[in-house]
Structure 1
Amino acid sequence: MNRYGKTIRSIRIGKGLSQKDLYTGIISKSYAIGFEQGKHNITINLFEKIIQRLNMNLDEFFFLYRDTNSSLETDLWYEHEKFGRSYDIKQLSHLLAVLQTQQTPIGLVRSALVKARIKIINATLSDSKLIQPARIINPDDLLLIQSFLFTAQTWTLEEIKILANTLSLFEPVLQDQFFSQAQKSFTLYQSYDRGRSVFSSLFIHMIVELIKRNELTRAESYLNQLSDLIDYYEGAVYKILVVYLRGILQIKSGQKTAGHKKARRAVDLLASLDYSDLSAFYGAMLDRIV
């Protein structure tokens, strides 16, 4: 933990606190000086006491730490989502080039993810129809991602994010198997805001796949779980997608007029909020169903 000392020092000074204010009763003055210089380690329980005295939580600290110590690992998902949503092939290609310098298991998986995103975007731009991603992805890349997920015994948010971004690429039996594995971590993360967001995304993708497979009872069951999960203000975009998916289920169950109206309203709302990629994807799905 010695690498966190410099960030602690920056926050302490920014808050106008002296070393005495922050460290008294936790660590000695001499040890505090060495810690802030990056020379000393500190135990997790003492570190938590320091964070509490700064009136912060660990999430906020690590966000600030990553902001000042940017790394490929912390930027990947942000850039993957940002450039993917804007269909920025140039920036995604740059991200891929950087990732391909990482010849580690997770580095190879991340490269495969970005390559898949680039192929899907290129196919989308060349054909306005709803594409089938599994048919255009390199089989070796898909096998690499599949093997990685099979190998993981305990899933953290990294594995769940990978699955959320690749679920549509797998055959139904693997979709079910991987989703079941991810659900084992659900109770661990459902009270964690970042975890709720990641699981909300996974639920959306799984519900869409179940609708494609006409497994409407399971889709509705997961949709109800998703509704409970997003019962907080940060989940606005997911609430819109819940409305959309309920509309789709109404259409599939015979209530075509009411369902279409509900789903179309959600698509239009996504467009008005500048979620153009989501609006286009779910709009195309709606057109295909009706």
Structure 2
Amino acid sequence: MAYGETIRNIRIAKGLSQKKVYEDIISKSYAIAFEQGAHDISLRIFIQILDRLMIDIDEFFYIYVGYQPSQHDEFLDRYATAGNRNDLKSLQALYVELLDGTDHTSKINQAEVRSRIRLLKSFECEKVLNKSVILEEDIHTITEHLANIQTWTLREILLFANTLDYFDYEQQEVFFQTLMKSMSKYKNYDRGKNTFSVLLNNIIYELIRGHRFMAADKLLEDLEELNKDITGVFFRIMYNYYKGIIRMKLGQEDEGLKQAQSAIRILCELDFTHQAELLQATLTQILEDI
């Protein structure tokens, strides 16, 4: 089906006339041909039409493919859901499916999922994240890909956010400082805001694990700024956890401990059990060092 045919279906479903949608944008005859799939239009005009229909471009393409997520979005959703719930069975099923792919993107996805499986298996036994269990070939696949891309867009940023500990601190710093210059460009785009929130959350976690508390504290301001509305609840919980640990290190041990434990308790109540276990393990290590 051509884009114009989908536009026609949406227009009719909304009860809108051609005149109301296309007036002052394209002619009546061109609109008819466009809706029949006989004409293409420029992206600029296409966006104007979507505005008249009051529909975002993301939603349009979701409708266009039959109300199905893209292959990449489906992968991200399954990967995130299984990983966040420590669901090894689902991760392994996803990995088996990915093995059918032989292109470059499939190889990267295979490396990422296989690495997460090995990390979670290790965590189940040792209750700490042990990077040494990740295969060198998987680290190489991901780091080489990111190093060879001159300008990252959201997919590369999210991949970096999910594989931070594959890089040493110096590499992390170089990549991160470059990416932070792009954050302001994406702060008004929901998907971009969420991706940068994931990045900030994960790098703050790594900084705290490395006892770089002042650096973590500075980045908390950015995490808070990106998540002031209700959609950022998860990252607000993480903000409180990190802030509690930093308060502990600054001498406010009792208050900070209560704040960090409260965040862990909320995650447990919301059934984010795996994240709660990770945070509890880190908190335990911090307490041993005080």
Q: Same fold (TM over 0.5)?
A: yes
How do 1:42-121 residues align onto structure 2 when only pairs under 5 Å count?
Answer: 42-65=41-64, 68-121=67-120
How do 1:162-241 residues align onto structure 2 when only pairs under 5 Å count?
Answer: 162-241=159-238
Per-residue deviation, 1:199: 0.6
CA distance in 1, matches of 2:112, 2:154: 16
Per-residue deviation, 1:25: 3.5
Identical counterparts, % of pairs: 37
In structure 2, what is the equivalent of residue 273 of structure 1?
Answer: 270
Per-residue deviation, 1:38: 4.0
Judged with a 3 Å threshold, the aligned counterparts in structure 2 of structure 1 residues 123 and 33 are, in CA distance, closer, same or farther, namely farther
- AA in 2 matched with 1:131: L
Per-residue deviation, 1:34: 4.3
Deviations 1:80-112 (A, max 9, x none): 111222333333233323333333322221221
Q: Could you tell me which runs of 5 or more consecutive residues in structure 2 were left unpaired when the two chains were aligned.
A: none
Which of 7-16 and 29-38 deviates more?
Answer: 29-38
* Structure 1: 4+ residue segments shifted above 6 A: none
CA distance in 2, matches of 1:39, 1:95: 40
Cα RMSD over matched residues?
2.1
- AA in 2 matched with 1:129: K
Per-residue deviation, 1:10: 2.9
Per-residue deviation, 1:218: 1.1
Judged with a 3 Å threshold, the aligned counterparts in structure 2 of structure 1 residues 154 and 259 are, in CA distance, closer, same or farther, namely same
CA distance in 2, matches of 1:135, 1:120: 9
Judged with a 3 Å threshold, the aligned counterparts in structure 2 of structure 1 residues 39 and 84 are, in CA distance, closer, same or farther, namely farther
- AA in 2 matched with 1:42: I
CA distance in 1, matches of 2:113, 2:29: 47
Tell me how many residue pairs correspond in the alignment: 287
Q: Secondary structure at the match of 2:163?
A: helix
CA distance in 2, matches of 1:65, 1:285: 45
Per-residue deviation, 1:67: 5.6
CA distance in 1, matches of 2:38, 2:136: 48
- AA in 2 matched with 1:98: E
Mapped pair 1:147 → 2:144: yes
Q: TM-score, normalised by structure 2?
A: 0.90
Q: Could you tell me which runs of 5 or more consecutive residues in structure 1 were left unpaired when the two chains were aligned.
A: none
- AA in 1 matched with 2:187: Q
CA contact (8 A) 1:155 1:185 kept: no
